[in-house]
């Protein structure tokens, strides 16, 4: 019998749209079009204020709520905008991420196809299109039920917000693979956590041009081994598909099928259902990548592809292995 698999999505997530802004509803609809048949669509769920306060300051939450009470559209920084719909939409994105975590703990793979994304949002700051940190909110909720959570972030950009939130925690293993020297200009190898969290934060900043050989080496030889050692009760994937070769935001060389390969590796290392939360992804083939991920979650593993690995990636893998093993 194939594993249970669902997507959390609602038309509500097509709101807060400035049209010309790259973080728009079209990118989400592209992702939804990639959902294979047989995947159950579940409705969104809203987070409560307590859910947000596990990772965000009350001042930040209150500021977003109050600003969204004004008419019109407003920029919080050069990239991040809000409208009158944004607070409600951000609550749905965070709550649906919690729902994906809950479903995974109940035995069902679940992918929260939500917007706005979240992994750049810090405890007291919205940035990089992100208002609240959806994956971190879900992880913090899960830590009320279980002992350990792992978060794997394969978005093109480093998940600085998620890292900052859990940087001193030994209950969250954070693993990020991303393009180096790109917004938000964090996520270097020596950022390994502090105090009790030292060694529980792993960053693999890869130069532009990395392909599946590079990604697969880091994920299999570092992240998956760390997951097996850490033995998390839940694995959350911050799933940004902007490392695709046709994505306008970066310079990586993945193709849609490669995300199935990465999902297979992480699922096998975890040994339990995954919770995924949509982050970035702005290119025309994002829907195909989402379809590849969901095909794996429905029970069709994607075998590794023979692909070259750059020497710089081997060096990064070796350096990270010294941190973990």
Q: Please identify every residue annotated as catalytic.
A: 120
Query: How many helices (DSSP H) and strands (DSSP E) are in the chain?
Result: 11, 10
Distance between start and end Cα atoms, the chain: 36
Q: Cβ atoms within 10 A of the Cβ of 75, count?
A: 11
Contact 110, 104 (CB under 8 A): yes
List, in sequence order, every residue forming a beta bridge with 179; answer none if it has no partner: 206
List, edge to edge, every strand of the sheet that includes 40-42: 40-42, 5-8, 109-112, 274-278, 234-239, 149-153, 172-179, 201-206
Q: What distance in Å separates the CA atoms of residue 297 and residue 315, rounded to the nearest whole number?
A: 31
Alpha-carbon separation of residue 251 from 25, 179, 185, 209, 243 (angstroms): 23, 8, 15, 6, 7
Burial (0-12, 13-18, 19+ Cβ within 10 Å), 142: buried
What are φ and ψ of residue 216, in 5° steps?
-65, -35
What are φ and ψ of residue 57, in 5° steps?
-70, 150
Burial (0-12, 13-18, 19+ Cβ within 10 Å), 10: middle
Residue 199 makes CB contacts below 8 A (sequence gap 6+) with 192, 193, 323, 324
């Amino acid at each position: 019998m194939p594993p249970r698999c669902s997507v959390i999505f609602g038309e509500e997530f097509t709101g807060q749209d400035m049209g010309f802004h790259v973080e728009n509803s079209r990118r989400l609809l592209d992702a939804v079009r990639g959902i294979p048949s047989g995947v159950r669509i579940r409705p969104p769920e809203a987070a409560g204020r307590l859910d947000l306060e596990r990772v965000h300051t009350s001042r930040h939450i209150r500021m977003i709520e109050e600003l969204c009470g004004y008419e019109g559209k407003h920029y919080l920084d050069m990239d991040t905008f809000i409208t009158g719909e944004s607070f409600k939409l951000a609550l749905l994105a965070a709550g649906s991420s919690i729902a994906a975590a809950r479903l995974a703990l109940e035995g069902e793979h679940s992918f929260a196809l939500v917007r706005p994304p979240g992994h750049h949002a810090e405890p007291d700051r919205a940035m990089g299109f992100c208002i609240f940190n959806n994956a971190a909110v879900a992880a913090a909720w899960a830590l009320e039920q279980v002992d350990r959570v792992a978060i794997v972030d394969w978005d093109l950009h480093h998940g600085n917000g998620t890292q900052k939130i859990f940087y001193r925690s030994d209950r969250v293993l954070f693993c990020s693979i991303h393009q180096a020297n790109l917004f938000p200009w964090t996520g270097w190898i020596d950022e390994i956590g502090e105090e009790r969290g030292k060694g529980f934060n792993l960053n693999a900043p890869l130069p532009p041009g990395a392909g599946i050989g590079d990604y697969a080496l880091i994920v299999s030889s570092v992240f998956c081994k760390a997951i097996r050692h850490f033995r998390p009760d839940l694995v959350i994937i911050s799933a940004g598909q902007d490392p695709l070769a046709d994505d306008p935001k970066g310079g990586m060389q993945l193709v849609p099928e490669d995300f199935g390969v990465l999902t297979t590796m992480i699922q096998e290392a975890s040994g339990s259902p995954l919770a995924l939360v949509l982050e970035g992804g702005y290119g025309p083939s994002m829907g195909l990548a989402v379809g590849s991920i969901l095909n794996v979650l429905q029970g069709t593993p994607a075998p590794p592809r023979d692909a070259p690995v750059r020497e710089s990636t081997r060096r990064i893998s070796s350096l990270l292995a010294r941190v973990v093993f």
